[in-house]
């Protein structure tokens, strides 16, 4: 079956750095997405990786290793507004998005 | 760009009634729209994929006669929850796919919170 694993919850301190990991086992791979979802709101797009390596976008970076079935989202200079759930999703061979359960990130002052 | 709207943002209805939720792509044409359901503290669950002008493709376990999806134009898709029951109470989110930009990126609407009493 298809499976995406990410930690259920993480806690970090304002101003610090946090890394949210995602491992996947899917039938085929056509890219990996990270979305941010604040409570009661719809997800918003953060990043898309299809090749191995690190993609940097401001305070957020996303890394992909296809051989290891692994990705991480790195958030720097954490702000209170970064408190949200972070969803990892993989586009499989049928171009269907397979969603992880999300990681709830709690930022403490 | 790539804005998706949903209406209503929240709705309360009585058990046994039907509720229609609209999803519109405001500034682009969406050949494909997706409907998701999300229960509290859970991830998104894809209900169905709809392509303009054709019947929706439902995920396993989703009752197509209960959740009616219409995608009549390139900018509008509707989800009708028929004979709603309390267990249908959930956060319903639509998204639209665009051929431009990041491949197969989905742009999400703000969601509709349905409460069935």
- Asked if A18 contacts A105 with a C-beta cutoff of 8 angstroms, the reply is yes
Residue with tokens 């197509």: B64
> What does each C-alpha distance from B7 to A2, A33, B2, B114 come to in angstroms?
33, 26, 17, 11
Using the predicted structure, report yes or no on whether residue B101 has a pLDDT greater than 80: no
Looking at residue B100, what is its pLDDT? Answer: 52
When pLDDT is cut at 50, 70 and 90, the band that residue B1 belongs to is: low
B75 φ/ψ sector (left φ>0, alpha ψ -120 to 50, else beta): alpha
Residue B84 tokens, joined: 């709603």
| Shortest CA gap B111–chain A (Å) | 6
Looking at residue B55, what is its pLDDT? Answer: 85
DSSP 8-state symbol, A71: E
Closest residue in chain B to residue A95, using alpha carbons only: B104
Average pLDDT over every residue of B3-29:
94
Q: Is B33 on the interface with A (CB under 8 A)?
A: no
**Higher-scoring residue by pLDDT: B53, A48:** A48
Residues of A in contact with B93 (CB under 8 A): 42-43
Average pLDDT over every residue of B49-77:
89
| Shortest CA gap B54–chain A (Å) | 18
Contact A45 B102 (CB under 8 A): yes
Contact B43 A87 (CB under 8 A): yes
CB atoms under 10 Å from CB of A109, counted, come to: 6
Give the closest of A40, A50, A97 to B106, CB-based: A97
When pLDDT is cut at 50, 70 and 90, the band that residue A5 belongs to is: very high
Is the N-terminal amide bond of A79 cis, ω within 30° of 0? no
Contact B43 A102 (CB under 8 A): yes
Residues in chain B: 117
CA distance A26 to A69: 9
Condensed to tens digits (0 to 9), the pLDDT of residues A54-87 reads: 999 999 999 999 999 999 999 999 999 999 999 9
Looking at residue A66, what is its pLDDT? Answer: 96
Using the predicted structure, report yes or no on whether residue A104 has a pLDDT greater than 90: yes
Contact B44 A48 (CB under 8 A): no
CA distance A101 to B44: 7
Contact A99 B44 (CB under 8 A): yes
B32-38/B90-97 β-pairing: antiparallel
Looking at residue B43, what is its pLDDT? Answer: 80
CA B20 to chain centre: 10
Average pLDDT over every residue of B85-103:
81
Helix, strand, or coil (residue A69): coil
> What does each C-alpha distance from A55 to A65, A72, B60, B96, B105 come to in angstroms?
12, 11, 35, 24, 16
What are A37's strand-pairing partners?
Answer: A85
Looking at residue A85, what is its pLDDT? Answer: 95
Residues of A in contact with B49 (CB under 8 A): 96
CB atoms under 10 Å from CB of B112, counted, come to: 23
Contact B108 A42 (CB under 8 A): yes
Residues of B in contact with A102 (CB under 8 A): 43
When pLDDT is cut at 50, 70 and 90, the band that residue B99 belongs to is: low
Residue with tokens 């319903």: B92
């Amino acid at each position: 079956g298809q499976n995406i694993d990410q930690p259920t919850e993480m806690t970090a301190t304002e101003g610090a750095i946090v890394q949210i990991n995602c491992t996947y086992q899917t039938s085929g791979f056509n890219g990996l997405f990270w979305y941010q979802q604040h409570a009661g709101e719809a997800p918003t797009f953060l990043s898309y990786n299809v090749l191995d390596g690190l993609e940097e976008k401001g305070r957020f970076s996303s890394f992909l290793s296809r051989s290891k079935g692994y990705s991480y989202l790195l958030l720097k200079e954490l702000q209170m507004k970064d408190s949200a759930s972070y969803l990892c999703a993989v586009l499989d061979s049928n171009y269907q998005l397979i969603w992880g359960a999300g990681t709830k990130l709690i930022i403490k002052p | 760009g790539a804005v998706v709207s949903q209406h209503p943002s929240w709705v309360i209805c009585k058990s046994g009634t039907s509720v229609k939720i609209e999803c519109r792509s405001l500034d682009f044409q969406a050949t494909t729209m997706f409907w998701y359901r999300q229960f509290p503290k859970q991830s998104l669950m894809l209900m169905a994929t709809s392509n303009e002008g054709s019947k929706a493709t439902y995920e396993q376990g989703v009752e197509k006669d209960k959740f009616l999806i219409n995608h009549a134009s390139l900018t509008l898709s509707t989800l009708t929850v028929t004979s709603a029951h309390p267990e249908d109470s959930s956060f319903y989110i639509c998204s639209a796919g665009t051929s431009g930009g990041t491949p197969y990126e989905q742009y999400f609407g703000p969601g509709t919170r349905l409460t069935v009493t």
